[in-house]
Amino acid sequence: MTRRILPLLALASSLTACATQAQETPPPIVRIDIPRVELPAGVDPLGPNSGIREGEAVGQAVRTLKYDDGPNGLNAIIALAPDITAQVRAARRLPLAGRTVLVKDNIETRELPTTAGSLALANNRTGRDAPMIANLRRAGGVVMGKTNLSEWANIRDSNSTSGWSAVGGLVRNPHAIDRNSCGSSSGSGAAVAAGFAWAAIGTETNGSITCPASINGVVGFKPSVGVVSRTHVVPISSTQDTAGPMARSVKDAAMLLTAIAGADPADAVTTTVPNRPADYAAGLAEASLAGVRIGVMRGQVGDRQDLTATFDAALADMERAGAELVEIEFEPDTAMYRDSFQVLMFELREEMGKYLSSLPGEDMPRSLADLIAFNEANKETEMRWFGQDLFVQAEGTTDREAYEKARANAVRIAGVETIDKLLADNRVRFLVAPTRGPAWVSDLVNGDNFNGSIGFGAPAAIAGYPHLTVPMGAVEGLPVGISIIGAKWDDHAVLKAGAAYERARSAVLPQPRFERWSPPLRPSAPRIAD
């Protein structure tokens, strides 16, 4: 597949050419043209009347073209918005003041199609904003474009490769372009790490914000389910789905969460949030770990000694900041995972059908069965690397009584019997563990090979509890994050704990190199965004 960049911005003649991108080897089977960047005619982003934010936005667009396209490009971006500088100008006096935000391409925005990475939705132009995007615009955020993702948010096949979609190709990790960016918010994580925008929005059902954030070396926050509306988002699970921010600092993530959060009558769970903060960034600068008891989930590290050493260094930083660490032994109840999977299969068929049937336009798929048929009819492009066994299994999962029993069981075990019990029995406020091991080599033939620890994020995802990952250092020169998990609706406190850890962190973090992996050199320390 190739993508063609349409004439850009009225910048300079050197930037108004077309570029062709070869995304994989062997040569692609199909050629697809996708508009990328198009700003209003006559705008001179380098002229004397360009504001700071406007200049930043154009600089980010140019950086995107430099590092996202070409044979070794990141493939993090599916499309850029046609009106970036106009949006910036209109937002100058609003709280976010024109900061640029990239949006995962399973979230509807009015100016761009929403494909979920699938050619079946290539023409899905609804002309509407998801409520979270409408909230973002009202707060002064700029929709810069749409990010690539694991097709259908990694729910199509059990042998998929994270970060690959038929629309966007394979997302590459900016720290090592032969390494995976995890998923399913692959492009959001890679783009933020690469400096393509101020921040990005991802979505998570189980690990899809926190894993790509950790592996790309950025902050990712999966809020409690209900903090952010899911209306006009391509769904998997009404029980577990949520959107959340991905950014280069906890403060920026909290600012973005403040902008997109809010009650939505069309998404009932959002109306149940108690004591919803007006500003999730409030108090972050003063937050402290002094006297805070934190449960250490050491059993979730896996058998990698290098990851253990990096985690131990992060724990030592927390102790120096005054935290009291409590070692916790934990053996998960595997029924939680079994029942959660059954929930996802049942809800995928139902929720996807509802979403597809609501789409405007003709010749659109209207059910999961339609998607399965589309993929079969377009095997050369859609199923070139992996199949659709999860789609097929979900289509056959129709027992509502079994589903309701599994849902109640999974949520109870993950929430009350796991996270709540661990917090209460050990008298701790938060639980911490490595989010994941370092990025693995991308392998489109054999699928993902998670490299070491798979962390403790699953209970938080299944129960709908908050989960924050913050960069804690490097393994093999590749970034890894530390997870901070709290009780249901304790989102603000989790963000405060993350900000306090971020200030106490002693590790020197790796910076993107936009090259294939090689033995690490000493990295430079990152700048924490203002």
Q: 318 pLDDT exceeds 50?
A: yes
β-partners of residue 327 are: 296
Separation between Cα atoms, residue 300 and residue 456, nearest integer Å: 6
| Structure-block tokens of residue 508 | 């020197």
Q: Which of 80-84, 269-273, 393-397 has the lowest mean pLDDT?
A: 80-84
Q: Which H or E run contains 312?
A: helix 305-320
Predicted pLDDT at 453: 75
Name the catalytic one among 150, 185, 208, 442. 208
Give the pLDDT score at 37.
42
Region 160-183: mean pLDDT is: 98
Q: Are strands 100-104 and 142-147 parallel, antiparallel or unpaired?
A: parallel
Residue 7's pLDDT band, with cuts at 50, 70 and 90, is: very low
Q: Is the pLDDT of residue 501 over 50?
A: yes
- Residues ≥6 apart with Cβ < 8 Å to 57: 45, 84, 85, 88, 98, 100, 142, 144
Q: Is 239 left (phi over 0), alpha (psi -120 to 50) or beta?
A: alpha
How large is the average pLDDT for residues 304-313?
95
Residue 442: active-site member: no
Q: What is the predicted pLDDT for the residue at 522?
A: 55
Mean pLDDT confidence for 233-238: 99
pLDDT at position 80, please? 95
Catalytic residue among 50, 118, 150, 184: 184
What is residue 527's predicted lDDT score, i.e. its pLDDT?
43
pLDDT at 300: 79
Range with the lowest mean pLDDT among 6-15, 111-120, 500-509? Answer: 6-15
Q: Which residue has the higher pLDDT, 435 or 5?
A: 435
**Mean pLDDT confidence for 235-242:** 99
Calculate the alpha carbon distances from 217 to 296, 325, 375 in Å: 21, 24, 34
Task: Count CB neighbours of 443 within 10 A.
Answer: 12
Q: For the residues 143-166, what does the mean pLDDT come to?
A: 98
What mean pLDDT do residues 320-328 have?
99
Per-residue pLDDT, averaged over 309-314, amounts to: 98
Dihedral pair phi/psi, residue 65, rounded to 5°: -65, -35
On whether the CB atoms of residues 105 and 114 are closer than 8 A, the answer is yes
The pLDDT-based confidence of 521 (bands split at 50, 70, 90) is low
Q: Judge whether 208 counts as a catalytic residue.
A: yes
What tens digit of pLDDT does each residue of 178-214 get?
A: 999 999 999 999 999 999 999 999 999 999 999 999 9
Residue 104 annotated in active site:
yes
Question: Does residue 2 or residue 284 have the better pLDDT?
Answer: 284
CA distances from 403 to 132, 206, 343, 348, 418 (A): 29, 18, 6, 12, 21
Q: Where are the beta strands (DSSP E) in 7-155?
A: 77-80, 100-104, 142-147
Task: Output the pLDDT for position 186.
Answer: 99
pLDDT in the model for residue 18: 31
Answer whether residue 21 shows pLDDT above 80. no
Written as six digits, the tokens of 267 are 């998404």
* Banded pLDDT at 156 (limits 50, 70, 90): very high
What pLDDT is recorded for position 48?
42
Are the CB atoms for 155 and 390 separated by under 8 Å?
yes
Identify the CA nearest to 250 among candidates 495, 505, 457.
Answer: 495
pLDDT, averaged across the chain = 90
**Residue from 104, 146, 251, 496 carrying the catalytic annotation:** 104
pLDDT one-digit tens code per residue, 395-453: 999 999 999 999 999 999 999 999 999 999 999 999 999 999 999 999 999 999 887 77
Contact between residue 433 and residue 210 where contact means Cβ atoms under 8 Å apart: no
Q: Where are the domains of the chain?
A: 52-504
Looking at the chain, the whole-number percentage of residues with pLDDT higher than 70 is 88
Residue 36 scores a pLDDT above 60: no
pLDDT over 90 percentage in the chain: 83
Domain 52-504 has CATH 3.40.1010.10: no
pLDDT of the residue at 214: 98
